[in-house]
Amino acid sequence: MTIELVAIGPLDRRRRCECCGFPTLGAPDEYEPDPQWDATLPACNLCEWESRPLDWSGDVRSDSTSDQDRNDGLTVDTARNNFARFLSIYDPENLPPWKIGPPSSDIVDRRQELSAAYNRLPNIIGSDGYEAWKRVRACEAALWQALKANQARNEEIDESAT
């Protein structure tokens, strides 16, 4: 099964996340003579779902682990329901043991902004599409910064506990 791609610009294509459905996952350049699908990250920063990895041709790898094995035992249906409620595949009241805690309010705010920006995309026609994608990219960058800051805080907490 080949994955459908979303064209953002002449050299920018994306793959939709299997959970949230937004085009959050990168795709190799279509003009690359030997695209490296296996080098693209399968994890979605918006919902945290880890999608199925792809082979060199863009097809889902047949040797990939199950959705539940990649996503802490969650099915895609459970993850979608959680995303609709919490903007994450995880229920903040039922986190896996490796997660230190629920996302910060800053991360939740950035996810709300990014989700709203993605939701606006299907309604954009013509030159407004460029501005809409510009907004998506700004929201993605803000979420990435919030996630990095949260990771640094978690590492500090982890180090002080040892």
Give, for all 162 residues of the chain, the pLDDT tens digit.
Answer: 556 667 766 566 788 899 999 989 877 665 555 555 555 567 899 999 998 877 666 677 777 788 898 899 999 999 999 999 999 999 999 999 988 888 999 999 999 999 999 998 866 656 677 788 889 999 999 999 999 998 888 788 767 776
**DSSP for residue 144:** H
pTM to 2 decimals? 0.81
Gap between the Cα atoms of 159 and 162, Å rounded: 5
Q: Which domain holds residue 127?
A: 103-162
Q: Which two tokens stand for residue 123?
A: 């309604």
Same domain, 92 and 26: yes
Number of domains present in the structure of the chain: 2
Q: Quick one: 28 and 71 in the same domain?
A: yes
SS3 34: coil
- 67 with 2, same domain: the answer is yes
Torsion sign over Cα 44, 48, 52, 54: positive
Query: 76 with 128, same domain?
Result: no
Q: 88 with 21, same domain?
A: yes
| Domain end call among 70, 96, 122 | 96
